[in-house]
Amino acid sequence: MATITIIGTGTMANAIGGVLANGGNSVAYVAHEQIGTARIEGDIVVLAVPYPALDGIVSAHADQLAGKTVVDITNPLDFTTFDSLVVPAGSSAAAELQAKLPASAVLKAFNTTFAATLVSGKVGDLTTTVLIAGDDAEAKQALKSAIEAGGLTAIDAGSLKRAHELEALGFLQLTLAAGEKISWTGGFGIIR
Amino acid sequence: MATITIIGTGTMANAIGGVLANGGNSVAYVAHEQIGTARIEGDIVVLAVPYPALDGIVSAHADQLAGKTVVDITNPLDFTTFDSLVVPAGSSAAAELQAKLPASAVLKAFNTTFAATLVSGKVGDLTTTVLIAGDDAEAKQALKSAIEAGGLTAIDAGSLKRAHELEALGFLQLTLAAGEKISWTGGFGIIR
């Protein structure tokens, strides 16, 4: 069982919190308006906020995040064009975050799973699979266990470099849904 | 019905040729050793070769490929490290190929479907889905129809810029299979 703080109270925050609470993990929430004043507890902190909100969390809470696992779920799209990401080519939001939080174990996860597939636990007939990338093997294993306890599948997708590919996948999936090629309850399922 | 030439006679060449022939399309093959001497016919030419072989085809056959649809299926991995692609960050093998073949309609396709899933037509219980990216809508529609006639699903995944994301997805899928997180008969299925 892990002690988890979720920053954010939106659709993704609730969907992720629901999975982790179902797994018997201890889950607390910090609302957006509490950023800067809340005390961030727990072993794992999920930043369930949009990409532009990351910097404010880093500024306010970098010290409290030191020594913790920090989970970045963002898809850093340029939402004005829906045609590119706003992070440098070849990099990722997660790699940028790790550079700003050198004393934390940053993981990329939950950016390739639509909220509805976390809530239902299914993508079509498949169990929803969360892909995790990061450089800290112990942190990845702890998050994987917490997710699996909640009834989903989790796969260690490799080092934090793979966050680039996970963000490309998340971006592609968003463009397919926005273009009505897939639904917001569907997307990429993983067959092992 | 489309007239299709497949350059290459390997596993992917045969798997793609099988799908397209099943759909009643006219399919001819050009073997690797015929590159430079063969006459390339057909409306659609599938370059079912590894990434390093593309330049030789361009050198030998750019004139014959003018006016045709050229399908790039490559995953331009650095196979010595299995940790990055060899194309510039933010670009793609398909975008590079389009720049070298300005008079052809270059499409990215078949790089996210393992050969076994093309042969069986299934990823798990799902119908195998081919994702297509390219800037020529008519060329995409013709390839989509040829694939669908062969019993698979095909999705227009957007402009040729999306080849970057398709190559990231293909790369990720290859690393997951090489790392035994998924099998070579599995991978990413698409639920609509």
More confident residue, A133 or B1: A133
From the list A146, A44, A136, A42, the residue with the least C-alpha distance to A98 is: A136
Please state, in angstroms and rounded to a whole number, the distance separating the CA atoms of residues B14 and A88.
38
From the list B42, B35, B43, B83, the residue with the least C-alpha distance to B60 is: B35
Q: Which two tokens stand for residue B155?
A: 């999705």
pLDDT value at residue B176 = 98
Look at A188 and B187 and tell me if their CB atoms are within 8 Å. Answer: no
Question: Per residue in A67-109, pLDDT tens?
Answer: 999 999 999 999 999 999 999 999 999 999 999 999 999 999 9
pLDDT value at residue B1 = 86
Q: Does A175 touch chain B (CB under 8 A)?
A: yes
> Which one of A165, A173, A185 makes the best mutation probe of the B interface by having the most chain B beta carbons within 10 Å?
A165
Question: Per residue in B39-69, pLDDT tens?
Answer: 999 999 999 999 999 999 999 999 999 999 9
Q: Does B18 touch chain A (CB under 8 A)?
A: no
Q: What is the mean pLDDT of residues A109-113?
A: 98
Please state, in angstroms and rounded to a whole number, the distance separating the CA atoms of residues A1 and A26.
7
Look at B155 and A191 and tell me if their CB atoms are within 8 Å. Answer: no
pLDDT for residue A1 is more than 90: no
Residue keyed to tokens 């293909």:
B170
The DSSP bridge pattern shows strands B122-123 and B129-134 to be: unpaired
pLDDT band at A142 (very low <50, low <70, confident <90, very high): very high
Total beta-carbon pairs less than 8 A apart between chain A and chain B = 105
Q: What is the mean pLDDT of residues A3-19?
A: 98
Rounded to a whole number of angstroms, the distance from the CA of A39 to the nearest CA of chain B is 37
Q: For A54-143, list the strands marked E by DSSP.
A: 69-72, 105-108, 122-123, 126-127, 129-134
Interface of B with A in 20-79 (CB under 8 A): none
Phi, psi of A132 (to 5 degrees): -120, 130
The pTM is what? 0.98
- Going from N- to C-terminal start, the domains of chain B cover 3-178
Q: Which residues of chain B have pLDDT under 70?
A: none
From the list A54, A86, A56, the residue with the least C-alpha distance to A71 is: A54
Look at A124 and B124 and tell me if their CB atoms are within 8 Å. Answer: no
Closest partner residue to B188 among A166, A179, A190, by Cβ? A190
Q: What is B3-178's CATH number, 3.40.50.720, 3.10.50.40, 3.30.160.40, 3.90.1150.10?
A: 3.40.50.720
Predicted interface score ipTM higher than 0.95: yes
Q: What is the mean pLDDT of residues A156-183?
A: 98
